Amino acid sequence: MADWKSEVEEVVFPGKICVPYSWTVGSTLSRWYVQLRDDGEIWANRCPSCGTVYVPPKIKCIKCYKDMNDWVKLPGTGTIETFTVVNKERPGLDPKKPPFVYAVIKMDGADTGMVHLIGGVEPEKVKVGMRVAPVLEKERDGHITDIKHFKPIA
Amino acid sequence: MADLKDVAVIGVGATKFGENFDWGVDDMLTMACFEAMEDAKIEPEKLEAGWIGIQYPFTGFSGATLSDAIKTYDIPITHTENYCVSGLDAFRNACLAVASEQFDMVIACGVEKITDQGGRGLPTAGFGHPVQMSGLTAPSAFGLAFPRHALAFGTTKEHLAHVAVKNHFNGAVNPKAHFRREVTLEQVMKAPIISGPLGLLDCCPISDGSAAAIITRTDIAKKYRDDYVTIKGMGFAAYTNLMMYDKNFDYLAWRPTVKAAEKAYAMAGITDPPNEVDLAECHDCFTITEILNVEDLGFCKKGDGGPATAEGRFNIDGQVAINPSGGLKCFGHPIGATGVRMVYEVTKQLQGRADGRQREGAKVGMAHNLGGLGGVVCGVVILTNEK
Ligand SMILES: [Zn+2]
């Protein structure tokens, strides 16, 4: 089959798609985003049974499957658990121009890790265990990027 | 009812993997499936059911993707989707159906057509959680494992590079591999960084391809060939898309690999993997992925994956041959096809038909397939030629 193009001209169909889409964040994350957008605060919710604190919040505890209506305000600071420096650009898809740092941040007062960007520091200086605090956008619209990035603190 | 250990593979087929711009989905499925049927010496009319692994919607929907290609109208065909394990899950379901004695002769296949889909790399739009995994690509999600492994065990970027060098060495002689060339340690170390510490040569390529296997019971297999291979162990596990929500997640192991392997080893009666498994096709989408996997599969101690690879313990003539085909890294990774392609390679190895890359005296081989950003689902299938 490899040499079929010697016998007939290959016809290629040039397709084009544009795919704007919307995605409801649901009951629990809506509460979280409204707090972030309107008050610039990062909240978490706590399992009434095992006490695990989730951020971003979940409807039910992944261990106990209990509803979590117990909300706690977090200080916003946290510690970098691990990270990667993105160097290859994906035009139109990246949140900012590479190189930039994605990290998993263990938020103070919570038990779970949260994925976000690290800014205000040279990528090569980022380390596991580094303490960070959030930098918020002034104009916020209820999106994960309302937190611009987390920056290192002393 | 028969047992999973009464299930046999009597034929395998695969296309060349790579940027197959000349071939559509139908072309590749036809090539792989008919090669498998010719290998098994059966006609399509013999097939009673089929399973097809595909991950991406642009490759195809439903079982009709297979029947449209090979014209097996009216038999039941199921499309399996389970991230990168879509293909091995097609194989698993086919094996379970044969073990149940609902069917005597079935086909499991996988296909993916990723070039020409309009995006760059693996498509991630609309893929994964919009908040928790926001924007992470596959190299970023797997790259997160490195800083923790380096801190805990002293793993270096050079250790990662040894995985690429080994797998390219094996794949360079494989006529169906995406890349047919070796790479040096220096080339891997100096390649442009994609998502730190993973450079271009730490990442498997974007490939098109298809693979297929013909599956039956051992009592029927004997009528077709003497060198059929049988299932010795099988285990599957799904963990979570949101491992950051797991307080105990530490980035040092792929939990679904650990759990799937436990089940497969228990079924196979294997207690000392490095001395009881001759070869493994082990999921190496990125070099760091293989380092954690060989530890999680028990082929070396936790933390020893880097040094063990660098010392040559996983070379084709080492203690366990890891990725004699070249692996995802060199052979290529058309997502839905990969798991079945692993079965293809293990079967060839156990039949002594892996030209130029044969693991001498192979009796027990493993297909290990991991899927999802950061290790979400996993399948382990152990095959043997011992009757
Ligand atoms: Zn709980």
Inspect the interface and report whether the beta carbons of B245 and A2 lie closer than 8 Å.
no
Is residue B168 a contact partner of residue B326, using CB atoms and an 8 Å limit?
yes
Residues B84, B282, B300, B330: which is the catalytic one?
B84
B285 is annotated as an active-site residue:
no
Q: Domain spans of chain B?
A: 4-117+208-216
Minimal C-alpha gap between A93 and chain B (Å): 8
Task: Tell me which residue in B137, B196, B251 faces A85 most closely, judged by beta carbons.
Answer: B196
What is the structure's pLDDT at A21?
73
Q: Which regions of chain A are under pLDDT 70?
A: 1-2
B215: left (phi over 0), alpha (psi -120 to 50) or beta: beta
Nearest to B220 by CA among B96, B101, B72, B49: B101
Q: How high is the pLDDT of residue A3?
A: 78
- Measured between CA atoms, the residue of chain B closest to residue A11 is B22
ipTM, two decimals: 0.81
The reported pLDDT for the residue numbered B120 is 62
Stated pTM of the model: 0.92
CA of A46 to the centre of ligand 1 (A): 8
Q: Which residues of A touch B139 (CB under 8 A)?
A: 84, 88
pLDDT digits (tens, 9 = 90+) for A104-114: 999 999 999 99
Q: What is the pLDDT of residue B133?
A: 58
CA distance A76 to chain B (A): 16
Tell me the mean pLDDT per 10 residues along chain B, length 387: 92 97 95 98 97 94 95 97 97 98 98 82 56 75 95 98 98 97 98 95 97 98 98 97 86 96 98 98 98 98 98 98 98 98 98 96 98 94 96
Q: CA end-to-end span of chain A, whole Å? A: 64
At the fourth CATH level, the homologous superfamily of domain B4-117+208-216 is Thiolase/Chalcone synthase (3.40.47.10)
Instruction: Choose from B31, B132, B133, B142 for mutation: most chain A CBs within 10 A.
Output: B132
- pLDDT given at position B125: 46
pLDDT digits (tens, 9 = 90+) for B4-51: 999 999 999 999 999 999 999 999 999 999 999 999 999 999 999 999
> Which phi and psi angles does B229 have, rounded to 5°?
-115, 155
Rounded Cα gap, residues B160 and B154, in angstroms: 12
- A62 and B245 within 8 Å at the Cβ level: the answer is yes
Active-site residue identified among B79, B168, B178, B333: B333
Q: Is B162 a catalytic residue?
A: no
- The answer for residues whose C-beta is within 8 angstroms of residue B238's C-beta and 6 or more apart is B82, B256, B376, B377
